[in-house]
Amino acid sequence: MILMALLLSSCSAKFQQVGETAKLAFLGQKGAELTPEQIAAIPYASIYARQGDGPQAFMVLAFAEQGLDKWVSSDHAMLVTRKGRLVKAIGLEHQLISVSNQQKDPVIEGLKPANMPQSYSRKISWMPGYFSDIKEESSFQFIGKEQLTIAGHSMELNKFTEFLTIPAFDYQAVNTFWVEPDTGLVRKSIQHYAPDVPPLTITQLRPYIGKYS
């Protein structure tokens, strides 16, 4: 809680600058929905995030450091991604605390059709329940190209699926990633991060372009 308070206090000035348009677009009963012009007018990288069938949240980039993008919503939830892969979720009912072996993650390395199929394993920790260093195994497949419209822009993206298992819980799930062919940037994803927890759908509206501190 102390760490979260420090993070939020240090980015509070940034939120004051986002403006009334963004304030009105944050979490609501029907979810956030901005026009392409509104998204372009906000001077920060931004995403949509939705857990399961819940309301859609508009989130802005609070920090970009050490390769991590830290997205914050008006209700003080924080998602941390590395090149589109979710590596931490704070302030949600079910929280992702840590993820190991990030340097060998095919998503972080940049998914490419020529590298498929590909396997990967890591250890994850989540709450509530204080589950620590639980092994997760996964394999990737390239599905094909798919046309998506994001923030008013139509784009052809590479679609990949990740079939993951957590043997200790006899748990299986499927993640989906839509990736820019040239840059490897994950523009949209559906990611499960703990057993029996609704997945997070994350859409990159305005990606971060710049240097990490």
pLDDT tens figures, 167-203: 999 999 999 999 999 999 999 999 999 998 999 999 9
Give me the amino acid identity at 169: F
The mean pLDDT value for 138-164 works out to 97
- Band the pLDDT of 31: cuts 50, 70, 90: low
Alpha-carbon distance of 17 to 37, in angstroms, equals 17
Quick one: 191 exposed, middle or buried, by C-beta within 10 A (0-12, 13-18, 19+)?
Answer: buried
Closest C-alpha to 72, from 15, 136, 122: 15
With tokens 């799930």, the residue in question is 173
State yes or no: pLDDT of 22 exceeds 80. no
Percent of the chain with pLDDT over 90: 66
**155 within 8 A of 180, measured Cβ to Cβ:** yes
